[in-house]
């Protein structure tokens, strides 16, 4: 009996010792893990730029509400890494198309960021039916000269919808006389901003109390402008070859009906998919065109759907002086990126 008791006691002692050892080991493992985690995983708060502006209008960054509003949008966009990297890639393809149109129409270059925050530079369609890079609803699009029907929807045409957006911006500037207010009106409307200015007896965006969406709108513009213009400052290392290259095209002009766009595409040495990718404004497989209006259809030039050929052209794609400067090592200095 004593022997049995002794054996049981010894077994119990072994279990207790093993448990204590396991607990101690676990503590050591957790502590080592935590030390390793702390040494290698860092998430930083951000320095707020002191001289940021929108279209030349200096942002009053010393106002606590302005500073904290910008801080919020910088943090959200900096640490939404997958989305922000995608925007860097798309900017290289689309800003060279958008910027010259803004310049030709006397609209500041910073307005290109409206297309970026409205649609992420895609032909998105909102639940309310707002469509394209510039998110025009049908009535507004038609009001600014876009053709919108069952067969043709020029909200999907980047060049033509950018021209329409310029018309809106210029109309808004005539009434608001300030580019920051014009930008905010793209969210709330010209009348909405005008009423708030009158009701609150102020004369600028940063002094207005607005609904949450419009209150954030300009700060989102400022944040994406800052991050896209200075990617490495916000932790983004993007090689030239990572950018989406501009794809050269040639034009085919038509002023008659098209009974079958599949056959039309094949006759022009592309497939129907390529035809629609380069001309998303064509909404059906046919075009009636009873009025014999002239349309311009764009198709990829010289086999440039081959990505290896496209990558070799990236160095010469973008020459803008006031955006995507991370692309040019001579402008970025120590922030130049590897090839």
Tens digits of per-residue pLDDT, 37-51? 888 888 999 999 999
**With contact defined as beta carbons under 8 Å apart, do 247 and 304 qualify?**
yes
pLDDT tier at 13 (50, 70, 90 boundaries)? Answer: low
Q: How far apart are CA 98 and CA 115, in angstroms?
A: 9
pTM of the shown model: 0.84
pLDDT on residue 29: 78
pLDDT for the residue 14: 54
Say what the pLDDT of residue 143 is.
Answer: 98
pLDDT in tens, 276-298: 999 999 999 999 999 999 999 99
**What is the tens place of the pLDDT at every residue in 211-248?**
999 999 999 999 999 999 999 999 999 999 899 998 89
**CA-based max dimension of the chain:** 111
Distance CA 333, CA 208 (A): 38
DSSP code, position 54: E
- Assign 20 a pLDDT band (cuts: 50, 70, 90): very low
pLDDT classification of 301: cutoffs 50, 70, 90: confident
Q: For 245, which DSSP code?
A: P
Residue 30: pLDDT band with limits 50, 70, 90: confident
b (16+ CB within 10 A) / e for 30-56: eeeeeeeeeeeeeeeebeeeeebebbe
d(CA 233, CA 12): 60
* Range in 8-12, 103-107, 243-247 with the lowest mean pLDDT: 8-12
Q: Which residues pair with 254 in a beta bridge?
A: 295
Question: What is the rounded distance in angstroms from the CA atom of residue 226 to the CA atom of residue 223?
Answer: 5
């Amino acid at each position: 009996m004593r022997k049995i008791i002794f054996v049981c006691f010894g077994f119990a002692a072994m279990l207790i010792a093993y448990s204590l050892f396991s607990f101690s080991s676990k503590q050591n493992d957790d502590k080592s893990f935590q030390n390793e985690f702390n040494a290698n995983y860092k998430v930083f708060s951000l320095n707020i730029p002191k001289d940021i502006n929108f279209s030349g209008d200096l942002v009053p960054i010393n106002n606590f509400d302005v500073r904290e509003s910008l801080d919020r949008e910088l943090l959200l966009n900096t640490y939404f890494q997958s989305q922000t990297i995608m925007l860097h890639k798309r900017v290289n393809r689309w800003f060279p198309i958008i910027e010259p149109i803004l310049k030709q129409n006397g609209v500041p270059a910073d307005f290109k960021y409206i297309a970026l925050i409205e649609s992420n530079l895609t032909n998105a369609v909102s639940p309310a039916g707002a469509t394209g890079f510039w998110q025009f609803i049908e009535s507004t699009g038609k009001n600014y000269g876009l053709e919108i029907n069952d067969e043709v929807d020029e909200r999907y045409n980047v060049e033509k919808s950018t021209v329409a957006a310029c018309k809106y911006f210029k109309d808004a500037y005539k009434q608001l006389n300030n580019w920051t207010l014009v930008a905010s009106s793209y969210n709330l409307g010209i009348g909405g901003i005008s009423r708030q200015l009158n009701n609150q007896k102020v004369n600028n965006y940063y002094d207005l109390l607005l609904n949450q969406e419009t209150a954030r709108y300009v700060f989102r513009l400022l944040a994406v402008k800052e991050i896209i213009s200075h990617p490495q400052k916000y932790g983004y290392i993007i090689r030239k070859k990572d950018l989406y290259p501009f794809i050269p095209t040639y034009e085919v002009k038509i002023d008659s009906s098209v009974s079958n766009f599949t056959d039309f595409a094949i006759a022009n040495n592309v497939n129907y998919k390529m035809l629609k990718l380069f001309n998303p404004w064509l909404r059906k497989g046919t075009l009636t065109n009873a009025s014999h209006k002239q349309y311009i259809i764009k198709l990829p030039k010289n086999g440039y759907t081959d990505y290896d050929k496209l990558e070799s052209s990236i160095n010469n794609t973008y020459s803008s002086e006031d955006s995507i400067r991370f692309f040019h090592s001579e402008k970025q200095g120590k922030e130049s990126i590897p090839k």
